[in-house]
Amino acid sequence: MLPPGSTIGILGGGQLGRMMAVAALQLGYRVVGFAPEGDNVAADACSGFITAEWDDAAALGQFAAACDVVTWEFENVPVSTVAALPEPLLACPVRALEVAQDRLREKAFAAELGGVPAPYRAVESAEDLAAAIAAVGTPGILKTARDGYDGKGQWRVRSVVEAGTAVFPGVTCIYEGFVTYETEFSVILVRGADGEVRFWDSTANLHEGGMLAQSILPAGALVEAQVPAARELAARVAEALGYVGVLTLEFFATREGPVFNEMAPRVHNSGHWTIEGAATSQFENHIRAICELPLGGTKTRFASIEMRNIVGEDALKAHMILAEPGEPHLHLYGKAEAREGRKMGHVTRVGHALK
């Protein structure tokens, strides 16, 4: 176990790192962050924050010297950055990033473990794209194999006519067939260094413009029926990776069963409700796991829960939410610029408490 007063290093400076740092402070740890120049809101909750490029060897050395354990807050931290750190500092093997950063590798990895992804093809050229569209059909979606998130790096191909005009963006991509589904849902687990796994309840997730807008519990009968199979896959993924911490897998709930969409080796937007709504939040349990502390309970505390993201300029009037009914719990991330499509915070509403 990592004793109180030890220092946790977090790679990345966004809101997930900020909420992880708050959880770490509550458990008596110091936090040092590391990220390139930007709106690093995690710094507000850190004892120290190093602003440097991911390949700055001297800065990484300074960061490593200050830390007793290192984790990351998003999956696009360069693998080379993590691999440059002393291996004993890493709470989780770098392989988790290697798999999650490449959508082609991620799909194949999940399929090898028994998961069912949407039909897909690799795309390296305009000719590959035409062949993929012919094989998979339309509608479909073209995604960059790396670096996309929240709807970025994605292009819908709705028809054969659009297929004829689809333009290859010049980087390795994946073309996926559309899945007919009732809703999307997440399986979020925490795995300790000893292999113990605990799951939170799965929310139904509603998206707008490719970005998560709302997560709801209860998730509905179809999702609840598919959670056991989805959890089995998630547990196999965590074990195969030797994963430690919070891991998220996203699924489509279809009439034929859960279809694997993607994984995120980190705390997740669809788990923000756990701060107020679960016995232990995803952020606290992530810190517990990487510090080898006993894991906390994941039981849902309320009969109904809704988490909604606050995006763009809606944040400017977000404090008005506090006057609304439904016991709103407001979280603003301290970002300086309320740009369109930018996650600025979230609000969670809970129903009556469960006994």
Q: Which two tokens stand for residue 114?
A: 């028994």
Say how far apart CA 344 and CA 332 lie, in whole Å: 6
Binning pLDDT at 50, 70 and 90, where does residue 160 land?
low
Cα–Cα distances in angstroms (integers) from residue 320 to residues 324, 338, 343, 347, in the given order: 7, 16, 18, 11
Residue type, 2: L
Residue 270 has a pLDDT of 98
**CA-closest candidate to residue 36, choices 97, 93, 79, 78:** 78
The per-residue pLDDT for range 11-25, each reduced to its tens digit, is 999 999 999 999 999
End-to-end CA distance of the chain: 32
Q: Is 245 helix (H, G, I), strand (E, B) or coil?
A: strand
Determine the distance from the C-alpha atom of residue 98 to the mean position of all C-alpha atoms in its chain, rounded to a whole number: 15
Q: What is the mean pLDDT of residues 234-238?
A: 98
The per-residue pLDDT for range 328-337, each reduced to its tens digit, is 999 999 998 8
Burial (Cβ within 10 Å: 0-12, 13-18, ≥19) of residue 115: buried
Say how far apart CA 148 and CA 311 lie, in whole Å: 18
Residue that has been written with the tokens 């339309």 in this structure? 138
Residue 152 has a pLDDT of 65
Write down all domains in the chain, each with its CATH number in brackets: 7-90 (3.40.50.20), 119-177 (3.30.1490.20), 183-350 (3.30.470.20)
Which segment of 59-73, 224-238, 326-340 scores lowest on mean pLDDT? 326-340
Q: Check pLDDT > 60 for residue 151.
A: no
Query: Are 334 and 14 in contact, with CB atoms under 8 Å apart?
Result: no
Burial (Cβ within 10 Å: 0-12, 13-18, ≥19) of residue 289: buried
Q: Is 158 helix (H, G, I), strand (E, B) or coil?
A: coil
Please give the biggest Cα pair distance in the chain: 62
